Amino acid sequence: MMKEKIEGAIDDIRPSLQADGGDVELIDVGDDGVVRVKLLGACGGCPMAQMTLKMGIEKHLKSVVPEIKEVVAV
């Protein structure tokens, strides 16, 4: 159930990432509340990727699924 909510939340923000030539892929949702994602396209090598991950992706995912402890890029 939590994985489906997370995938839905990622779909909400995906158009913004794709507008800049990037994307994000859900890799794993750990029992410890850590969500692992892979940044794709322009996001993979962008110097602002860490800020996008924490202030964009993580912030949005936590607002939709409060059980999330952290979002990390793999």
- Looking up residue 40, the CATH number of its domain turns out to be 3.30.300.130
* E strands, 1-74, in order: 22-29, 34-41, 70-73
The answer, yes or no, to whether residue 25 has pLDDT greater than 90, is yes
What's the chain's average pLDDT?
94
Domain count, the chain: 1
Give the Å distances, CA to CA, from 44 to 2, 33, 67, 69. Answer: 25, 23, 26, 22
- Considering the chain, what percentage of its residues have pLDDT values greater than 90? 88
The answer, yes or no, to whether residue 18 has pLDDT greater than 90, is yes
Q: Give the pLDDT band of residue 37 (cuts 50, 70, 90).
A: very high
Query: ∠ CA 3-46-18 to the nearest 5 degrees?
Result: 55
Q: Give the pLDDT band of residue 46 (cuts 50, 70, 90).
A: confident
The answer, yes or no, to whether residue 45 has pLDDT greater than 90, is no
Q: Which domain holds residue 41?
A: 2-73
The answer, yes or no, to whether residue 44 has pLDDT greater than 90, is no
